[in-house]
Amino acid sequence: MICGERVMPAVGVRRLDATRPRAAPGRPRVARVFPAVSKLPEPRAVGVRAAAPPLAVAACALSFTLCLLAQVALDIPLGDLDVYRAEGWAARTGAEIYDLAVTAHELPATYPPFAALLFVPLTLLSVDAIRIAVCLLNLGLVIALARLSLRLVGRHAVECRPIAWERGTPLIVAALAVWCEPIWATIRYGQINLLLVVLLLWDLTRRPDHRWAGIATGVAVGIKLTPGLFAVLLTVAGALLAAGRLRRGERADNPHLRRATRAWAAFAGTVALAALVLPRDSWRYWTDIVLAGDRVGPAEASANQSLRGVLARALGTGDLPDWWLPVAVLVCCVGVAVAVAALLADERLPHAPAWAATSCAVTALLVSPVSWSHHWVWVIPVLVLLFTEADRRRGRAWWTGAWGAALLSCSYASWLLPHDETRPELNLPAVQQLVAAAYPLAGAALLATTGALALRAWRPGRRADRCRS
């Protein structure tokens, strides 16, 4: 091996430069080294390794089939899909989008008007055809989510060797992921969560110098405002990095700042397009609906796994006092600070982009007025990260945390709590309060862990961690 290249003597990798004068007697002759012109063929996989991808395909197909059969047996409602289709129909026909009351639960439209434009194709097919198509699309997005989650933790420091994920690993992860409660519920309701997280992860795992990096983040913000915290993360990280470079007399331009600029520009483009096509609905949304937190459902609902939901159940009221908003702002600032510290730690913190992305996502879920349990589809990147770290560190505490998070995501805990129109969540005993706050407590633990790792990485004299081979 020479300079990381495989050397093949038969093709003249090493030769003397005849144009240079001969070395003086007694001095060693210097040879010029040329990179290999070809690579040795990879050994052919045999046995279990060769059968791994087909077995993974079979396992994923079986798991997906069982998931769909179980959903059908439990009368899959796809209620949110009905809302999306109604929004698309209103945008297509010129009706008032934000006056809709869809299904027996009278669900309103809550997303920006740009989302309604994207929902127009849902009106072009029959209801049954759209339901089948969306179920299949969500299953495909589960595979994409698994693959991108693995890619996110595979982005090691420049001095570390990338993890050689087997081709069948994403399918195995996807086969298991459909049984996690957030994924199951997203498929059950026909939600858009999987599309949003795939857009964000696809953007975050692209090359930093890619000219389109950041665009998908801006589009995700245009569909739903919660991903906007990722644009904030990139902006703050880019600004801090730029300030440090300016102090050293260098150019302020950096990949984070470029990504943030493209993300905000793409978001502005979605707003402008919606304002051009749907001016009335755009004006109403940005001047009224965007601040109406009561449209998305009761804060005290047991399925609301946000800070606001925890406080509402703890205080026994859906009308929270005014001090809850400063608390949410404080949590948001702390979460963004943790994510920025992890992102800028770079090679000093293994899997820094993954820690930053998951921390930012958890922060957005905590501070959102309502984060239904199916919004926590970020559990898949979190689990991939935790199991990867547990395997790298070989610590009992890490394995306990990873398996605990996995069991929690498959526990369907919030579904076991009393919930009906009489709002029994306002009078839950202490044990049920803890069960109802399971996801927020786990999210807080993730932020604490990320913060501790980031602080350790930023200690003076800290060197870049080497990945275990």
For helices 193-204 and 181-189, give the axis angle rounded to 10 degrees. Answer: 120
**So what's the pLDDT on residue 184?**
95
**So what's the pLDDT on residue 107?**
87
Quick: pLDDT tens for 177-229.
999 999 999 999 999 999 999 999 999 999 888 889 999 999 999 999 999 99
Distances from the Cα of 254 to the Cα of 210, 259, 365, 378, 435, angstroms: 12, 9, 28, 27, 43
Q: How many CB atoms lie within 10 A of CB 433?
A: 15
Put residue 249 in one of left, alpha, beta given phi > 0 → left and psi -120 to 50 → alpha: left
The SS3 call for residue 226 is: coil
Quick: pLDDT tens for 31-72.
444 444 444 444 444 444 544 578 889 999 999 999 999 998
For helices 396-409 and 438-457, give the axis angle rounded to 10 degrees. Answer: 150
**CB-CB contact of 37 with 14 (8 Å):** no
Question: What global pTM score does this model have?
Answer: 0.84
Q: In sequence order, what are the beta bridge partners of 299?
A: none
Which segments in the chain show pLDDT lower than 70? 1-52, 155-166, 461-469
**So what's the pLDDT on residue 220?**
97
**So what's the pLDDT on residue 189?**
92
